[in-house]
Amino acid sequence: MPISESDILRWLREEDPVRLEELFAEADRVRHENVGDAVHLRGLIEISNICCRRCAYCGIRVDNPAVERYRLSREEIMNCVREAVAYGYGTAVMQAGEDYGIGREWLAGIIAEIKRTTPLAVTLSLGERPDEDLAAWRAAGADRYLLRFETSDPALYAIIHPPAPGKAPTDRIAILRRLQELGYEAGSGVMIGIPGQSYRSLAHDIATFAALDLDMIGVGPYLPHPETPLGSRAVAPAIDPAEQVPNSEAMTYKVLALTRLACPQANIPSTTALATLNTVSGRELGLQRGANVVMPNLTPPQYRVLYEIYPAKACISETAEQCQRCLEGRIRAIGRQVGQGQGGRGRRA
Ligand code: 5AD
Ligand code: FES
């Protein structure tokens, strides 16, 4: 019996450290039983920080003039991909802002080349692209797509995620279902502790992960960026302070553990946002409380510093090689192994 939404809500409010240890141990057991001890490495390539959207929380939103913009060339992307292969990663994740300079055919060509020349799974995380783009990239060989729905509360979503200028609001849940229909493994997730997020809505977010039968779920703390409306408090959703979820490390572990109990088979990363809150042991604690994936950064260092969706991001000044060593060491130190192969959940029919 998967965990119910009312139990999720009770656990989110739990403060007793002894009981929380029981929750974490149960999440670790369920992780071990369902997805094993392997930790899959997904090499993250931040291919462009150009974005046409105005998400109220995100540092690379279109109207942050302080950001110097970049887009990697095909050759730069393929160099990162070759590094992923050399380091033994099973997956290349291409992530960007919603950048329509990333053309349908251009990216399809790159995806096809990766699939033709490497054994990697290809994951895309490129925002709310039109159906024709998603279908073309799937046809070119892309395996997975990540699109966090950010919150299941429609009123809060409307505040933090305004529609593109002149466009109707989009429905990320509908896009996720469409991705599944196209045969992608679909991933989603939320930020923890966004202003205006109540315990009740966060419990509903986690229940929604299970209802959508997601293959991948990313959850990490909300980290305020001063150059954004939400981070500078120019936008402040009304909420009873007793109902506001904190954007804390402790809350992140609860959500990771509950996500594992709600979705035993899912691939769940220990996120960079969590590592940013606790650079010493955040990644490891995430892996010991439900997570089974990490995403070492492959973006060339000169671009990496420009992909600042939130401040003080972990790994911002490390090289791909440093992240590779760091993560493999951390995985071994907690008695887990680096996953072999693509580490997918398996193709949909
Ligand atoms: N703090 C934490 N996470 C953030 N993201 C974007 N901005 C922030 C922030 N300020 C997350 C969003 C997005 C993912 C790529 O990064 O959930 O979907
Ligand atoms: Fe990048 Fe540890 S993962 S330095």
If you measure from the C-alpha of residue 309 to the centroid of ligand 1, how many angstroms do you get, rounded to a whole number? 6
From ligand 2's centre to the CA of 122, what distance in Å?
A: 21
Catalogue the E-assigned strands of 254-316: 293-294
Q: Please, are residues 220 and 191 in contact by the beta-carbon 8 Å criterion?
A: yes
CA distances from 6 to 11, 12, 94, 142, 257 (A): 9, 10, 36, 37, 15
pLDDT at 101 over 70: yes
**Would you call 80 exposed, middle or buried from its count of C-beta atoms within 10 A (0-12, 13-18, 19+)?**
buried
Residue 149's CB is within 10 A of a number of other CB atoms, namely 20
| Residue 349: predicted pLDDT | 36
From the CA of 317, the nearest ligand is 2
Mean pLDDT in residue range 317-323: 91
Q: Looking at residues 92-114, what average pLDDT do you find?
A: 98
Work out whether strand 38-48 and strand 337-338 pair parallel, antiparallel, or are unpaired: parallel
> pLDDT tens-digit profile of 242-264?
999 999 999 999 999 999 999 99
Domain positions in the chain:
5-338
d(CA 302, CA 70) in angstroms, rounded, equals 10
Question: Which tens digits make up the pLDDT trace of 1-39?
Answer: 689 999 999 999 999 999 999 999 999 999 999 999 999
Ligand nearest to the CA of 304: 2
Q: How far is the CA of 169 from the centre of ligand 2 (A)?
A: 37
Ligand nearest to the CA of 205: 1
Burial class of residue 326, CB neighbours in 10 A (0-12, 13-18, 19+):
middle
- Whether the CB-CB separation of 26 and 50 falls below 8 Å is answered with no
pLDDT interval class at 204 (50, 70, 90): very high
Q: Which atom of ligand 1 is nearest to the CA of 57?
A: 10
Q: Judge contact between 296 and 320, C-beta under 8 A.
A: yes
Mean pLDDT calculated for residue range 91-104: 97
Nearest to 152 by CA among 209, 92, 195: 209
Considering only CA atoms, which residue is closest to atom 11 of ligand 1?
191
How remote is the CA of residue 287 from the centroid of ligand 1, in Å?
A: 20
pTM summary value: 0.96
Q: Residues lining ligand 2, CB < 6 A?
A: 296-297, 315, 318, 322-323, 326-327
pLDDT per residue over 115-165, tens digit each? 999 999 999 999 999 999 999 999 999 999 999 999 999 999 999 999 888
CATH class of 5-338: alpha beta
